[in-house]
Amino acid sequence: MRIFGIMTNQTLLAVPLFVFMGVVLERSGIAAKMLRDMALVFKNSNSGLSISIIIVGALLAASTGIVGATVVTMGLMSLPAMLKQGYSKEFSSGLVASTGTLGQIIPPSIALVLLGDVMSNAYQRAQNNMGVFSQETVSVGDLFVGAIIPGLLIVVGYLIYALFINRNKKFAPLEGIEGEANILKTLLPPATLIFVVLGSIIAGIATPTEAAGVGALGALAIAGLNGYLNLELVRETSYKAATVTTMIFSILIGASIFSLVFRGVGGDLLVEQIFDMMPGGKYTALLFVMLAIFIFGFILDFIEICYVIIPLVAPPLLMMGFDPVWLGILMAINLQTSFLTPPFGFSLFYLRGVADESIKTTDIYKGVVPFIFIQLLVLALVIIFPFFII
């Protein structure tokens, strides 16, 4: 019955639709057009290419939400250009890998969809344990709204760091990019799609699943406008969406079985007792959980953390009085770092696969460190100033 409930979960139906939307946009050539036009706009300013990469990466994150596709696309298009201009190998690789992870926190994000489902179940369980019969709910849409400001703060942090680290450097002129930039024509279709998808969710017009369906249809329309829509594209993207969705649901089913057994032997009660025994109260427990999730990010995928670790630690924290949306955003920012932390950060592997042989793996590892600190700084700001979220 638990497995059947997972497979018929209306919220999780948004996952294959958002994946399909992202893959279609990635294959439609819109990313290459955005990067070219944005680079033309900033070609006469110092650090112009790095600024363009961050802005385009943020737009791709909001329109695709797929980290792997963004990192690979940006790595193939922008990494060679950055090296030719004279950017350091560490900064170039770190910027591309980190910008690709924006799809984790900027809605509509697949990670937020999965986390929203987990936090909803955890909040319900916490209220059941406290004997609350008039229960409140938390939705994926709530997390989408809560993630907007932290996502923008991370983008601003990236921009400030890029400008600061390259402030005294002179770069060679950008080669191979000529002509006039038609920013409006290039940005209008994906910006409209983002507005429709997010706006319909925030306004309460559509559920995330319904909005994902609209987004998938809109992505096909954009592909058609760019002349890429054909049966081969539909076949490739459908296969990719099915593959990613199968992987996610396989982990979810396994995690569900694990959590059921774990609670059956009293593991959840043990976690609650550990939190209650911690000196310093609920904030000590929160910092302990944040540190644990960060460390797990070095060795586990974000989906595994989301479905195995968070269901164990979220209910006790929610019973301590933390806001579920605020707590969910903290975990989402923390999970974003798991894509950049070696040795198993997926962004590092994606970039290693497309980077030039002259870039060493150690260059990529060193390059992402400042961007990890930026993400952790935003995490700290959200903890200290919760009114960003609630």
pLDDT in tens, 310-319: 988 999 999 9
Higher-confidence position of 360 and 45: 360
- Asked if residue 80 lies in contact with residue 133, where contact means CB atoms within 8 angstroms, the answer is no
Residue 76 lies in a domain: yes
CB atoms inside a 10 Å sphere around CB 254: 13
Residues with Cβ < 8 Å from 217, sequence gap 6 or more?
Answer: none
Question: Using 50, 70 and 90 to split pLDDT, how confident is the model at 159?
Answer: very high
- Asked whether residue 277 is domain-assigned, the answer is no
Model-wide pTM > 0.95: no
Q: How many domains does the chain divide into?
A: 1
Q: Give the separation between CA 106 and CA 112, rounded to whole angstroms.
A: 9
Judge whether 196 lies within some domain.
yes
Question: Higher confidence at residue 225 or residue 175?
Answer: 225
Of 37-51, 56-70, 168-182, 275-289, give the range with the top mean pLDDT.
275-289
Residue 170 located in a structural domain: yes
For the chain, report the end-to-end CA distance as a whole number of angstroms: 35
Please check whether residue 362 lies inside any domain of the structure.
yes
CA dihedral 34, 35, 39, 41 (to 10 degrees): 10
Residue 171 lies in a domain: yes
More confident residue, 254 or 334: 334
For residue 280, give Cα distances in angstroms to 35, 275, 286, 287, 383.
49, 10, 10, 11, 16
- Quote the pLDDT of residue 171: 79
Closest to 296 measured CA to CA, from 328, 258, 335, 269: 335
pLDDT digits (tens, 9 = 90+) for 10-37: 888 888 888 888 888 877 777 777 877 8
Q: Structural domain of residue 184, as residue ranges?
A: 2-254+325-388
With respect to residue 56, please indicate whether it lies within any of the assigned structural domains. Answer: yes
pLDDT at 176: 58
Q: Is residue 187 in a domain?
A: yes
Q: What's residue 279's pLDDT?
A: 82
